[in-house]
């Protein structure tokens, strides 16, 4: 067990460029929609959160915590003083970024978010689709990556078929980013169907903690409201946007939807482990198709499978705590703002004396569950835009 804990303490590398970074209500990165909506949304801080627990003596004793982490990121709390605008290069750059660039972009993002929220839900989604289709001209490298992936997965596709797939992909991503402004309306307006909730119910009735292994398909943001509106509670390990204004938007939306938020700092992993171990919540959700060390970590799609990133974190947490792993995804039904959230059957988690073999086995089992789902819905997968074969 001690080796499992040490592995959970490793942090993931930054994803690099803003357009390579993930966005999610459950993984929680804020508003990294700049690739899609022409710059009205900002970027996040990292590709995924890190998990950490503390080893003490011969046993494993999580650090004391009240079960949630409400601290603001250090960069927000320790704002550079205004006088730094007249100081040396490094200080001047930090002050300019915080007080001028971030403020201008943040106010623009906030205005766009509020304006989209005033529109009827379908109109808001349609605006996002339009902006999404235009974004492929702004981000040709992302477009080219997705085209290569679709061509590799579907070698029989003609160029026209790939073009149609790309139009649907860009429109769908744009819709998802815009729908963030009306996220709290989707469930009350009856726009979300649910399949497989019995798997979550069965795990809770059996007294088992639950890890939601989520995917960036369809409008992945709809997964959280679906869980909460079906009478379950849970916690979210979420990424903190670099821009403090975007962070406020993210917090406001997620809290209106009923989310319990956990910052991805050193305490976050301990909180995740302790909540699952003590079974104090109905579940903990982590997106497993994130960017890790510069590339999308899952699914492998024929690449060498490496037990790293969030998919490995989920496997480790499940083995450590006895949690049930339920792969979960959302698909857009039709062209508008209507969705089906799917909770898949639980993954059978290996737990033997061989920790390393268990990790490889469990990562492979999760991969086998999610890979066909992503392959069959590649036009709705956000990370097709970042995937390198």
**CATH number where 324 lies:** 3.40.1130
Asked whether residue 95 is domain-assigned, the answer is: no
pLDDT at 41: 29
Each of the 389 residues of the chain gets a pLDDT tens digit; together they read: 544 444 444 433 333 333 333 333 233 333 344 334 333 222 232 333 333 432 322 233 333 333 344 444 544 557 889 899 999 999 999 999 999 999 999 999 899 999 999 999 999 999 999 999 999 999 999 999 999 999 999 999 999 999 999 999 999 999 999 999 999 999 999 999 999 999 999 999 999 999 999 999 999 999 989 998 998 877 776 677 788 888 888 777 777 766 677 776 667 777 888 888 887 667 788 899 988 888 898 999 988 888 888 899 899 999 999 999 999 999 999 889 999 999 999 999 999 999 999 999 999 999 999 999 999 999 999 999 999 98
**How many independent structural domains does the chain possess?**
1
Asked whether residue 251 is domain-assigned, the answer is: yes
How many helices (H) and strands (E) the chain has is answered by 14, 11
Asked whether residue 319 is domain-assigned, the answer is: yes
pLDDT at 75: 47
347 forms bridges with which residues in the sheet? 325
Asked whether residue 98 is domain-assigned, the answer is: no
Q: Which structural domain, as residue segments, surrounds residue 305? A: 2-72+121-385
Residues 44 and 23: beta-carbon distance below 8 Å: yes
pLDDT at 294: 85
Q: What are phi and psi of 370, to 5 degrees?
A: -90, -30
Asked whether residue 223 is domain-assigned, the answer is: yes
Q: What is the DSSP letter of 53?
A: -
Asked whether residue 115 is domain-assigned, the answer is: no
Q: How many whole angstroms separate alpha carbon 111 and alpha carbon 119?
A: 13
pLDDT at 278: 84
Other C-beta atoms lying within 10 Å of the C-beta of residue 355: 16
Asked whether residue 101 is domain-assigned, the answer is: no
Asked whether residue 88 is domain-assigned, the answer is: no
Q: How many whole angstroms separate alpha carbon 230 and alpha carbon 200?
A: 10
Where do runs of H (alpha helix) occur along the chain? 2-8, 74-77, 89-95, 102-118, 121-138, 140-153, 159-179, 183-186, 197-205, 223-229, 244-256, 266-278, 309-321, 355-376
């Amino acid at each position: 067990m001690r080796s499992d804990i040490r592995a959970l303490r490793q942090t993931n590398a930054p994803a690099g460029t803003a357009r390579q970074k993930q966005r999610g209500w459950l993984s929680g990165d804020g508003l990294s929609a700049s690739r899609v909506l022409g710059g009205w949304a900002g970027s996040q801080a990292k590709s995924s959160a890190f998990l950490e627990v503390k080893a003490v003596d011969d046993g494993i004793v999580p650090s004391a915590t009240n079960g949630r982490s409400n601290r603001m990121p250090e960069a927000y709390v320790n704002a550079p003083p205004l006088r730094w605008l007249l100081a040396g290069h490094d200080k001047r750059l930090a002050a300019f970024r915080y007080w001028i660039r971030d403020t201008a972009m943040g106010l623009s993002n906030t205005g766009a978010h509020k304006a989209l929220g005033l529109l009827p839900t379908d109109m808001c989604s349609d605006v996002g689709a339009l902006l999404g289709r235009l974004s492929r001209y702004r981000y040709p490298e992302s477009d080219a990556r997705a085209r290569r992936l679709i061509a590799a997965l579907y070698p029989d596709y003609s160029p026209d078929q790939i073009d149609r797939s790309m139009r649907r992909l860009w429109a769908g991503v744009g819709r998802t980013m815009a729908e963030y402004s009306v996220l709290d309306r989707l469930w009350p307006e009856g726009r979300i169907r649910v399949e497989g909730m019995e798997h979550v119910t069965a795990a809770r009735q059996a007294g088992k903690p639950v890890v939601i292994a989520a995917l960036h398909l369809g409008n992945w943001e709809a997964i959280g409201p679906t869980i909460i509106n079906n009478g379950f509670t849970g916690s979210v390990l979420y990424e903190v946007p670099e821009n403090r204004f975007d962070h406020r938007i993210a917090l406001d939306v997620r809290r209106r939807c009923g989310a319990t938020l956990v910052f991805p700092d050193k305490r976050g992993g301990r909180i995740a482990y302790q909540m699952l171990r003590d079974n104090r919540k109905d579940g903990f959700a982590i997106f497993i198709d994130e960017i890790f060390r510069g590339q999308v970590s899952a699914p492998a799609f024929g690449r060498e499978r490496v037990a790293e990133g969030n998919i490995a974190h989920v496997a480790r947490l499940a083995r450590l705590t006895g949690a049930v792993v339920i792969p979960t995804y959302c698909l857009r039904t039709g062209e508008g703002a209507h969705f089906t959230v799917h909770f898949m059957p639980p993954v059978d988690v290996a737990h033997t004396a061989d920790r390393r073999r268990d990790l490889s086995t469990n990562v492979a089992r999760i991969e086998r569950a999610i890979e066909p789902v992503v392959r069959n819905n590649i036009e709705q997968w956000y990370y097709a835009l970042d995937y390198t074969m």
